[in-house]
Amino acid sequence: MTYPDNEVVDAFKAFWTTGSTNEDWSAWADHFTDDVDYVERQLGTMAGKEAVRTWITELMAVSYDVHAVLNWYIVAGDRVVFDMWNRYFHPDPERAPIDFAGLTVLTYGGNGLFKREEDYWDQATAKTAYVEWSAACREFGSTGDPDHLAALDAQRRADQLETLESGRIR
């Protein structure tokens, strides 16, 4: 089936804003069809929206220090492909964040919902990022100043909205 590009783009913007920007993971699952096929290349395959909801809310409850940063996205027919960083904020405000890359392919299913998601990321780089972040937290004595982290996250969210509107590489 063919969908208007603006319908797919609008669905993607809602999908990204709900989950990766606002980090409302339970509501994010509502952007999938009931019978979604979700393929997470490192963590397994899930069938159905409720399986995805259970998985993502449990995962993000323990991975709350990882935040998504959208680099770019493209829409081609019923597909959305996007590139992102998975980001740990460095606890030292003078240091750069610790990132690892991810790429996702979504397939649109109509009515503002996606019927398939395929996630790709480098597990070795993810482990390296986590080890680096954990060591930095031990060295710094915490995960960082809450006010500074809140400011970094607010900037990340603002950047997300800008990237969603422009679709450009940041």
Give the model confidence (pLDDT) of 98-141 as tens digits: 999 999 999 999 999 999 999 998 889 999 999 999 999 999 88
Give the chain's mean pLDDT.
92
Q: What is the pLDDT of residue 168?
A: 54
pLDDT digits (tens, 9 = 90+) for 3-24: 888 999 999 999 999 999 999 9
Other Cβ atoms closer than 10 A to 39: 14
Pick the CATH number of 5-166 from 3.10.450.50, 3.40.50.300, 1.20.58.1880, 3.90.79.10: 3.10.450.50
Instruction: Look at residue 83 and tell me whether its pLDDT is greater than 70.
Output: yes
Contacts of 165 (CB under 8 A, 6+ apart): none
Q: Indicate if the pLDDT at residue 72 is higher than 60.
A: yes
**Which structure tokens are listed for 137?**
């937290």
Output the CA angle 119-49-122, nearest 5 degrees: 15
**Alpha carbons 137 and 51: distance in angstroms, whole number:** 33
Collect all residues with Cβ–Cβ distance below 8 Å to 111 and sequence separation of at least 6: none
